[in-house]
Structure 1
Amino acid sequence: MEVLKVETRSKNSHHDAKKRRRQGKIPGIIYGTGMTNILFEIGELELHHAICKKGEHGIVDVGINGSEHSTIIKEVQRDPLSHKIIHIDLEEIQKDKKVTTTVPIHFVGEEMLNRFGAVIQKEKANVKVLCKPEDLPKYFELNVKDSSIGTIYTVGDLEVASEISIIDDIDAVLGSVSYEQKLVEAVEPQENKG
């Protein structure tokens, strides 16, 4: 597995973090049971590459100060305006032990619904799972292209490998298909000219 190289950083002022971000470095933290928290920074491009490959809740091996840590991405903080990553939290894991995390849901076939004026109203963007690190999927696909108005999708509709346990309620609603709400401009009634 590819090892992500990171550098330790010291906790300085908020202004220092901004300065480092301008230089293309993203601050982060590694924490876990029985270990001292490690503050680090990583190049923005390397981090984007890892997230594209593993997903925002994936498993990444991190190399820091000559030692390696198996970690799971716990949180990716983004700037609300630019959507750029501003911080990342990693939790150290044991590869032989199961992990609890969330897996995003990709709704597939939405464009087919849109063609006949329907949309999927999404209620949940991800589901919580328990599995071994090597069994963790990047995302779950939910195919909605053959839906009709009124179709409701629940967690139980997801196709999940037997090695993965879903922790969320299987009856929890992921999304429902309804007619697209179009904004209709109020038309002023014309005065009757007689």
Structure 2
Amino acid sequence: MSAEKITAESRTEFGKGAARRIRREDKVPAVVYGHGMDPQHITLPGHETMMALKHGGANALLELSIDGKTQLALTREVQIDPIKRHLEHIDFVAVTKGEKVTVQVPVTIVGEAGPDTLVVTDTTEIELEAEATDIPETIEVSVEGLPAGTQILASELTLPSGSTLLLDGETLVVNVTEQISAEALEAELEEAEAEAGIEREESDEEQAEAEAAEGDSAEGSEDSSSEE
């Protein structure tokens, strides 16, 4: 993973009011922690930082230029406005080249499993130890042609060179199961509801079908009576 280079500005204003002023200028307030130093409060360019995080993924590595000094920083927490979707605040941890860090790396499924199967991702993130400058963006798991009943454990994953698995090797990551039909799923649901003592209300469609069936039955009875 290459580090995105971004020029940051030191900041001395804090609080909600200062943060709002920073965001109005299309900038992002952030803090860099770690390595026994005091937290560095900085301001980052909004658009440039957003693009760097999109490119780097969940563990984006940035090379920050702060007051003429360079600092490698690994993304730890990103706050995003839930409505406007702009960056609100970022927490970084300071790192150095060659340093080992613990990260959570997302799992990506690739390929198509065998016919009539359903692929279930039981573990969506893998905990690894990797060099700060060589963190994988994702762990790919191929399910190409796999039959129902196949299970892929954490110990069976192919990890990038230099990465060490920290997750229990027996953890189930991907489970390839037999695809269940809609009819079978409905039958299982009805059975479970019956065991739980739940009475299902008829839908409008089911009520209409029942009324139509009753109407046909009544007409049949009348026809029989008239023939007699």
TM value normalised by structure 1: 0.81
- Matched ranges for 1:38-57 at <5 A: 38-57=40-59
For residue 24 of structure 1, report the CA deviation from its aligned partner: 1.5
Alignment match, 2:223? none
Alignment match, 1:132? 131
Runs of 5+ consecutive residues of structure 2 not aligned to the other structure = 187-201, 219-228
**CA deviation string 1:133-178 (max 9, x = no partner):** 2332121111234234443333223211341101111222223334
Instruction: Indicate whether 1:103 and 2:108 are aligned.
Output: no
* Structure 1 stretch displaced more, 2-11 or 75-84: 75-84
In structure 2, the residue corresponding to 1:48 is in which secondary structure? helix
In structure 2, the residue corresponding to 1:137 is in which secondary structure? coil
Q: Does the 8 A contact of 1:57 with 1:75 survive in 2?
A: no
Q: Does the 8 A contact of 1:56 with 1:76 survive in 2?
A: no
Give percent identity, aligned residues only. 25
Q: Does the 8 A contact of 2:153 with 2:171 survive in 1?
A: yes
The structure that has the greater radius of gyration is 2
Alignment match, 1:121? 120
Match of 2:210 among 181, 190, 194: 190
Match of 2:35 among 30, 33, 42: 33
Greater helix fraction, Structure 1 or Structure 2: 2
Matched residues in 1 for 2:58 and 2:173: separation? 19
Alignment match, 1:168? 167
In structure 2, the residue corresponding to 1:190 is in which secondary structure? helix
Q: Does the 8 A contact of 2:74 with 2:95 survive in 1?
A: yes
- Higher relative contact order by CA 8 Å / sep ≥ 6: 1 or 2? 1
Runs of 5+ consecutive residues of structure 1 not aligned to the other structure = none
TM value normalised by structure 2: 0.71
Matched residues in 1 for 2:90 and 2:157: separation? 28
Distance 1:16 1:143, change over 3 A: same
User: Match of 2:154, as an amino acid?
Assistant: V
For residue 116 of structure 1, report the CA deviation from its aligned partner: 5.9
User: Match of 1:190, as an amino acid?
Assistant: A
Greater strand fraction, Structure 1 or Structure 2: 1
User: Match of 2:123, as an amino acid?
Assistant: K
Matched residues in 1 for 2:81 and 2:148: separation? 36
Q: Does the 8 A contact of 1:7 with 1:42 survive in 2?
A: yes
Matched residues in 2 for 1:181 and 1:8: separation? 59
Alignment match, 2:90? 88
